[in-house]
Amino acid sequence: MAGSLDGSYDIGGQSDDSYLFEKLRVEPIYDAFRCPLTKQVMRDPVALENGRTFEREAIEKWFRECRESGRKPICPLTLSELRSMELNPSVGLRNTIEEWNARNEAAQLDMAHRSLSPGSQETESDILQALKFVQHLCQKKGSNKHVIRNAELTPMVVHMLNNSSRRVRCKALETLQIVVEEDFDIKEMMAEGDTVRTIVKFLSHEQSEEREEAVSLLYELSKSEKLCEKIGSINGAILILVGMASSKSENLVTVEKAYKTLDNLAKCENNVRQIAENGRLQPLLKLLLEGSPETKLSMAALLGELVLNNDVKVFVARTAGSSLINLMKTNNMPSRESSLKALNQISSDEESAKVLIEAGILVPLVNDLFTVGANQLPTRLKEVSAMILANVVNSGYDFHSVPVGPDHQTLVSEEIIHNLLHLISNTGPAIECKLLQVLVGLTSSPTTVSSVVSAIKSSGATISLVQFIEASQRDLRVASIKLLQNLSPHMGQELAGCLRGTSGQLGSLIQVISENVGITEEQAAAVRLLADLPERDAGLTRQMIDEGAFQLFISRVIRIQQGKTRGSRFMTPYLEGLVKVLARLTFALSEESGDVRALCSEHNLASLFIELLQSNGLDNVQMVSAMALENLSQESKNLTKLPEIPSPGFCGSVFPCLSKPPVIMGLCRVHQGTCSLKESFCLLEGQAVDKLVALLDHTNEKVVEASLAALSTLLDDGVNIEQGVQVLLESEGVKPILDVLLEKRTESLRRRAVWAVERLLRTDEIAFEVSGDQNASTALVDAFQYGDYRTRQIAEHALKHIDKIPNFSGIFSKMG
């Protein structure tokens, strides 16, 4: 620093210069000490041929400028021409200046010592000047640092970190940075006591200047391995540094210093752990990739213990996945163990799992599971391998394209699936659970489920898989139920056959579903398993009735509707499954014993399904409820109580023209008998028509189709169709039905809509109105031309109702 009282360092301006001149100088600056060119005290004085003395660097610059300007060299003071530019060292003057400097520095050192001493009454300005002097002394000559040590100034500067003045604290941090630079002895001395802890506290200060000085000082200290351990041992230090290194609000210099400090701290393995735990994995991964075999093993083990978010898992998989896979291929059991645990950690994210698959993890995983003999993994590590395999199969990857065996077998090849099933039957519960999860993952993908189903069928393992429903270990039971749920749409008849037996698995499923423990993943999977089994399997329905399943499930649905069941993320699939299982009763209404009808009547099942129509946002619940109501309504015409017509008597029988038919009040308009919602499942009595009509405007075509099918029972053969049409008119349901026809969403929905419209057009008023609607006519013509055979027939009848096709049968009958 330039511009000080001795011409060699900055004291902060003219006022400071005057202050120090009066305060610190013991001897005046003699004119002979100053260079005539720089006006500063000379360090390397040299003499010209005329005896004039200058600072070497200054006079050399003067001569250079003379040459460059084409002038002859002259003396800057006398301006007289010089014959020679030879410079003669003024050794005596230099020695005198050095002695003068030493005397002044000793006085200044003494003043600095007094200003920085604890309990000193010096002003802030005095302290700042003292700190600046310490900086100057260190920067002037490296060997001066022993003077600082001998004067015991370093602890005094450290003490200034607790000063009440922010300016003093910042200057103290800056001074310490200069004092410790390239001096490992002072750095190690700083490791003693609470000095480092005090410096770390500055990282959290609001003032950015203090944070910047503190992180710069920590960077300098972190160059010492002993200080690295000390910094890392301070609670929160590494966390704060990681935050600063990734901050977008700190200035770039601070961010860079924090980053470099962390790099230095990573020399200590314990710090690497902390840095990784706080979200910065680069040091760990660097050691994992470049370290010695022992270090790689240690880092892999550490990686397996960390809790990582999904983005970090992907980063680790891309950076170190191949290295970890290579470690698991070695014959060194500790290396295999640490790599497996690390891979288990990072494979649990879908994207990271895909990265590991592409890096070749499947072959060694499968080998680890199937290998027996000298190199086989112990059971506890086979469990980890199974966990990793369960993770990666849930990634949605196309496993048909990845060979895992010597003969190009894939993970879904029959041989591999058979081996997995064999392992499931011959290992302990922990591995069985993970291997079942592997099959759960493979059967969850539409691209692989058919291959797995085929292999399970060919292996004859269905009964064995069903038996796991009764496992005492909850995780094992959940995995088996989830697998069976995935299989049920593809091999429902086989599963239903196994459950119909007397082994108790059906009862176990019902017990799981009915447990009053909130709603768990296990319950949701169990009820959906039952829901996907063939709904017309009368034997299974009968056994479920005997087990009391339906009464339990009805009470569970009612509790959910009343808000008495604690909600969870499994609420929706659980409720959907319950409703679908209850709906299977409506497929068995024709059972001769009448038990099913009695059960539906006893629990007023029709009313429950009508309420469920209003489960907005639960499309499957609404669809299944509408389907169940269709089945129930189909039975209404058989269950309605037809009135007994009294005998007309003698006169009435002889003279029928004289008798009037009796008027019977309270009969159902559509079913022509005495109806009720509870006993005959009548939609009119249950006021369900408006709710079903409202669903015709649903965005889900399956809900629309189920609702239209339920409404169509009011127009079916065996009921009063004319009155059914009137009911739909009163509920404003005719137009929505026509709209369904016009929208042409699916072929199945169009078929139902054409059928319903044809029934509606049997009413002349509706036929007249529709005949003038070009869009409706076009939709019917389209169905007539492009529908299936049955749809074309019905569309033809509909077109005849609106006179778009001649009714030749009527013409011929008139001609006859």
Span 781-804, pLDDT tens digits:
999 998 889 999 999 999 999 988
Euclidean distance between CA atoms 272 and 265, whole angstroms: 8
Choice among 99-108, 540-549, 674-683 with the minimum mean pLDDT: 99-108
Euclidean distance between CA atoms 634 and 673, whole angstroms: 15
Higher pLDDT, 57 or 814: 57
3-state secondary structure of 74: strand
Give 173: exposed, middle or buried? Use CB within 10 Å, 0-12, 13-18, 19+.
buried
- Looking at residue 129, what is its pLDDT? 87
Sequential DSSP letters for 597-612: HHHHHHTTHHHHHHHH
Handedness of CA 581, 582, 588, 592 (dihedral sign): positive
Percent of the chain at pLDDT exceeding 70: 93
Mean pLDDT of 602-619: 94
- Looking at residue 9, what is its pLDDT? 33
- Please check whether residue 765 is in contact with residue 802, taking contact to mean a CB–CB distance below 8 angstroms: no
- Please check whether residue 421 is in contact with residue 460, taking contact to mean a CB–CB distance below 8 angstroms: no
Place of tokens 């391995």: 225
- Looking at residue 662, what is its pLDDT? 58
> Residue 421 — very low, low, confident or very high, per pLDDT cuts 50/70/90?
very high
Higher pLDDT, 220 or 649: 220
Euclidean distance between CA atoms 18 and 14, whole angstroms: 6
Euclidean distance between CA atoms 263 and 366, whole angstroms: 38
Whether the pLDDT of residue 814 is over 60: the answer is no
> Residue 397 — very low, low, confident or very high, per pLDDT cuts 50/70/90?
confident
Sequential DSSP letters for 719-735: S-HHHHHHHHHHTT-HH
Best CA proximity match to 692, nearest among 755, 610, 751, 752: 610
Whether the pLDDT of residue 758 is over 80: the answer is yes
Token pair, residue 719, equals 């009921």
- Please check whether residue 203 is in contact with residue 240, taking contact to mean a CB–CB distance below 8 angstroms: yes
- Please check whether residue 131 is in contact with residue 108, taking contact to mean a CB–CB distance below 8 angstroms: no
- Looking at residue 654, what is its pLDDT? 57
> Residue 815 — very low, low, confident or very high, per pLDDT cuts 50/70/90?
very low
- Looking at residue 374, what is its pLDDT? 72
DSSP state of 642: P
Angle between helices 333-346 and 310-328 (to 10 degrees): 160
Contacts of 660 (CB under 8 A, 6+ apart): none
Place of tokens 């991964």: 285
- Looking at residue 780, what is its pLDDT? 92
Determine how many CB atoms are found less than 10 A away from the CB of residue 153. 25
DSSP state of 644: P
Determine how many CB atoms are found less than 10 A away from the CB of residue 171. 24
Token pair, residue 611, equals 């309420």
How far does Cα 674 stand from its chain's mean position? 58
> Residue 179 — very low, low, confident or very high, per pLDDT cuts 50/70/90?
confident
- Looking at residue 664, what is its pLDDT? 61
> Residue 591 — very low, low, confident or very high, per pLDDT cuts 50/70/90?
confident
3-state secondary structure of 537: coil
- Please check whether residue 395 is in contact with residue 350, taking contact to mean a CB–CB distance below 8 angstroms: yes
- Looking at residue 116, what is its pLDDT? 85
Place of tokens 């506290």: 201
Mean pLDDT of 88-98: 92
- Looking at residue 157, what is its pLDDT? 86
Euclidean distance between CA atoms 130 and 113, whole angstroms: 8
Token pair, residue 802, equals 């609106």
Token pair, residue 644, equals 């007994």
Contacts of 60 (CB under 8 A, 6+ apart): 87
- Looking at residue 592, what is its pLDDT? 73
Euclidean distance between CA atoms 135 and 4, whole angstroms: 13
Best CA proximity match to 738, nearest among 726, 750, 730: 750
Mean pLDDT of 234-255: 88
Best CA proximity match to 743, nearest among 716, 711, 704, 769: 704
- Looking at residue 1, what is its pLDDT? 32
Place of tokens 């329905």: 541
- Looking at residue 8, what is its pLDDT? 37
Mean pLDDT of 447-457: 94
> Residue 183 — very low, low, confident or very high, per pLDDT cuts 50/70/90?
confident
- Looking at residue 4, what is its pLDDT? 33
Q: Please give the C-alpha separations between residue 86 and each of 50, 57, 79, 82, 229, in angstroms, as whole numbers.
A: 11, 13, 17, 10, 56
Whether the pLDDT of residue 628 is over 90: the answer is yes
Helix (H) or strand (E) holding 533: none
Token pair, residue 363, equals 């072959």
- Looking at residue 16, what is its pLDDT? 44
Token pair, residue 154, equals 């370093």
User: What are the helix (H) ranges across 695-773?
Assistant: 701-712, 721-730, 734-743, 747-760, 764-771
Place of tokens 């169009």: 750
Mean pLDDT of 416-445: 92
Determine how many CB atoms are found less than 10 A away from the CB of residue 147. 16
How far does Cα 352 stand from its chain's mean position? 12
Percent of the chain at pLDDT exceeding 90: 59
Averaged pLDDT score across all residues of the chain: 87
- Please check whether residue 46 is in contact with residue 88, taking contact to mean a CB–CB distance below 8 angstroms: yes
Amino acid at 127: I
Mean pLDDT of 750-772: 93
Span 543-586, pLDDT tens digits:
999 999 999 999 999 999 988 887 788 999 999 999 999 999 99
Q: Give the pTM.
A: 0.72
Helix (H) or strand (E) holding 567: none
Mean pLDDT of 297-316: 90
Contacts of 404 (CB under 8 A, 6+ apart): 362, 363, 366, 410, 411, 416
DSSP state of 276: H
Whether the pLDDT of residue 652 is over 60: the answer is no
Whether the pLDDT of residue 646 is over 80: the answer is no
- Looking at residue 573, what is its pLDDT? 94
- Looking at residue 36, what is its pLDDT? 93
Contacts of 427 (CB under 8 A, 6+ apart): 379, 382, 435
Mean pLDDT of 89-118: 85
Whether the pLDDT of residue 593 is over 50: the answer is yes
Mean pLDDT of 685-693: 94
Sequential DSSP letters for 7-43: SSS--SSHHHHHHHHHHT-SS---GGGB-TTT-SB-S
Mean pLDDT of 423-428: 88
